[in-house]
Structure 1
């Protein structure tokens, strides 16, 4: 499932510098009730993000082609491995063969693999799946950055790394960011961060 992050960085003191959110979002959704201050860069995301901690796939993230999955079977090291989802949305594993991964959450896929292993090979297998790279997600970075464009979002990514992927901010960009995150029901939640504080290590 392709997910699009959109990063909008505004010019300090210029309200008109920020493009309309829906003009760059993956799919239009109603704006959140919190309005963005004029001088804030704005980060619009389709998955949870925090200031200092890396962005990771949410629990309900649906696996897509080219995602890199780390599969662990408790007590059976020979089955532990990292596999990339192919263009058909499948992964290949020892004993169970091809497994459809696209469109499933990590928890759902783990349950499917565990059921296959339990059928013929293991008793009560415990399977855990970590999404190491969710390359079916992309980041669109526009506004007051040096190289605006669309970039792949791979694995654990911080807010500062998202901005850096577009060459960093320009000299006229403000020092704050707004994260706009889609919520169930088509609404959006806005979160504000101080990029200067994050850069200086003042955010835990």
Structure 2
């Protein structure tokens, strides 16, 4: 948990990031952040009307996949659209005219979410499908008796910049707010009545939010 302590200390020592008004839609904001392929993900690559080139390939530890004719392609860190465009460009350069490429992620092996604070079983949880904030807390065996349902923080790194938002899970469970979808490498921290000063500082400085603004 040392890494979490360092993360919280860093966030507490800096002013909170500006955020979007609560009236903005969670789905509309998080929808802008497309899934990016990671090591060990299993991909299904298909070339329209060229069945011999269709493959199921797993991203290796170097973040690469190997495909017929074009060889090694860098996959990790790319969105599905970016990867489809790269493969189409490689096939179109020498082998096919206007190739139509489709990439489908069959297994999201690379994804993991960290849940800490006042939960039953803090830890790092691998996920192979979409996971919401409430589902992530359930993976950690739910809230403890001293947990603050109204003070749940999600930390995320976007383009090297650390971001965070404060969520009211009691309102989410009551159907008053949307349950946000998490991304791989997100860190969820649940505050408590005896929480660390770093979290209490964020509680004091951060209004209740359902989304945060992503800065380039």
> TM-score band (shorter)?
0.5 to 0.7
Say if 1:81 and 1:172 are closer, same or farther in 2 by CA, change over 3 A.
farther
Determine which of 137, 140, 146 is the counterpart of 2:114: 140
Contact preservation (8 Å) 1:51, 1:158: no
- String of CA shifts for 1:177-202, please: whole Å, max 9, x gaps: 233333456352x3332223333444
Structure 1, unaligned runs of 5 or more: 1-18, 36-49
What is the aligned partner in structure 1 of residue 127 from structure 2? 153
Structure 2, unaligned runs of 5 or more: 19-24, 179-216
**1:175 match: secondary structure:** strand
Displacement of 1:81 = 5.7
Greater per-residue helix proportion: 2
Say if 1:140 and 1:197 are closer, same or farther in 2 by CA, change over 3 A.
same
Distance 2:63 2:110 in 1: 11
Contact preservation (8 Å) 1:52, 1:203: no
What is the aligned partner in structure 1 of residue 62 from structure 2? 88
With the length of structure 1 as denominator, give the TM-score of the two structures.
Answer: 0.60
Alignment of 1:107-186 (within 5 A): 107-131=81-105, 133-176=107-150, 177-184=152-159, 186=161
With the length of structure 2 as denominator, give the TM-score of the two structures.
Answer: 0.57
- String of CA shifts for 1:78-122, please: whole Å, max 9, x gaps: 356653212332223344344232344434322221122213432
RMSD between superposed Cα atoms in Å? 4.0
Instruction: Determine if the alignment matches structure 1 residue 23 to structure 2 residue 5.
Output: yes
Alignment of 1:58-73 (within 5 A): 58-59=33-34, 61=36, 63-73=37-47
